[in-house]
Structure 1
Amino acid sequence: MNVDTSPVERAQRRFFGALDALEAAVRRHKENERSKEALEAELRTLGEDRSRLAQELDRSQARAVKLEAVVGDVSGRLDTAIGTIRGLLEQGAGRSRSGNTEPAG
């Protein structure tokens, strides 16, 4: 009886082949778990980044609203100041034409 072809030898080869396949499957499973954990960590990081960015956006939008109000207020004040200066210049020009250089009062 040839040792290489004995039923025990064939069974042993099949057993070791199955054991190798099992070890390879366990390695792949561990690699997949590590990949899964890495992806979960990345997903958590992305979620935290999204939350932080949303808060920054909210603060920026609130600041923009305040700045728009300030711009409107400053614009109104500038319009008033320009109107006052024009009025004074027109009064001064009118007095110069009439020969009256005395301030009105």
Structure 2
Amino acid sequence: MSETELEEGLTSAAARFDRALARLGTSVRDLNARVQRQQRMEVDTQRLIHERARLATELDKTAARAKRLDDSAHEVSRRLVVAMETVRSVLEKSE
């Protein structure tokens, strides 16, 4: 093998090595970007899970309050009916 062929072989090998390093660098950057996106998604998912839990708790409290209000309204309605019947009874007796 001549010195020129050896130099051409080394130049070719160096060029292939440089291209391989460039591809490796690109792959590493792409992988890093995917890892960062995955980490952001995990953080967002955890934030959404906490928000969902907070909203579920708030909904439960609101539903309990609505039930108490409904029960109170029912009791007020029942007492009004009793009071109206009492007033009607008193009015009938006074006639």
TM-score by length of 1: 0.79
Q: Note the 1:28-67 alignment, pairs <5 A.
A: 28-67=30-69
Structure number with greater CO (CA < 8 Å, separation at least 6) is: 1
- Measured against aligned partners, the alpha-carbon deviations of 1:31-62 in whole angstroms (never above 9, x if no partner) come to 01110110001000000011101111111121
Aligned residues: 92
Q: Counting helix residues as a fraction of each chain, which structure ranks higher?
A: 2
Shift of 1:14: 0.3
Match of 1:14 in 2: 16
Which stretches of structure 1, 4 residues or longer, exceed 4 Å deviation after superposition? none
Shift of 1:21: 0.2
Matched AA of 1:51: A
Superposition RMSD in Å: 1.8
Aligned mates of 2:51, 2:33 — CA distance in 1 = 27
The structure whose Rg is larger is 1
Letter in 1 for 2:12: R
Gaps of 5+ in 2: none
In structure 1, the gaps of 5 or more residues are 95-105
Q: 1:2 Cα deviation (Å)?
A: 7.5
